[in-house]
Amino acid sequence: MPSHLEAGFVNCWRMIARGAPDFVREHAFAAPERKWRFDFAWPSAKVAVEIEGGVYRRGRGAHTAIGKFLGDVEKYNAAVIRGWAVLRYTEKDLTTRPVQVIQEVVSLVQSRSTTATIASPPDCA
CATH number of the structural domain spanning residue 65: 3.40.960.10
In a domain? residue 61: yes
Task: Work out how many domains the chain is built from and give that number.
Answer: 1
pLDDT of the residue at 112: 95
In a domain? residue 8: yes
In a domain? residue 30: yes
pLDDT of the residue at 82: 94
In a domain? residue 119: no
pLDDT of the residue at 65: 75
pLDDT of the residue at 34: 87
DSSP assignment letter at 17: -
Which of 9, 13, 14, 28 is CA-nearest to residue 84? 28
In a domain? residue 123: no
pLDDT of the residue at 3: 87
Query: Position 35: which residue type?
Result: K
- The answer to whether 57 and 9 have CB atoms below 8 angstroms apart is no
- Full domain range(s) for residue 19: 4-112
pLDDT of the residue at 102: 96
* Three-class SS state of 24: strand
In a domain? residue 14: yes
Provide the residue-wise pLDDT of the chain in tens; the chain has 125 residues. 568 999 999 999 999 998 899 999 999 998 778 889 999 999 999 999 999 976 555 555 555 578 888 989 999 999 999 999 999 999 999 999 999 999 999 999 999 986 544 333 343 33
In a domain? residue 29: yes
Residue-wise DSSP of 25-93: EEEE-STTT---EEEEEETTTTEEEEEETTTT--STT-TTSHHHHHHHHHHHHHHHHTT-EEEEEEHHH
pTM, to two decimals? 0.80
pLDDT of the residue at 14: 93
pLDDT of the residue at 123: 39
In a domain? residue 124: no
pLDDT of the residue at 69: 86
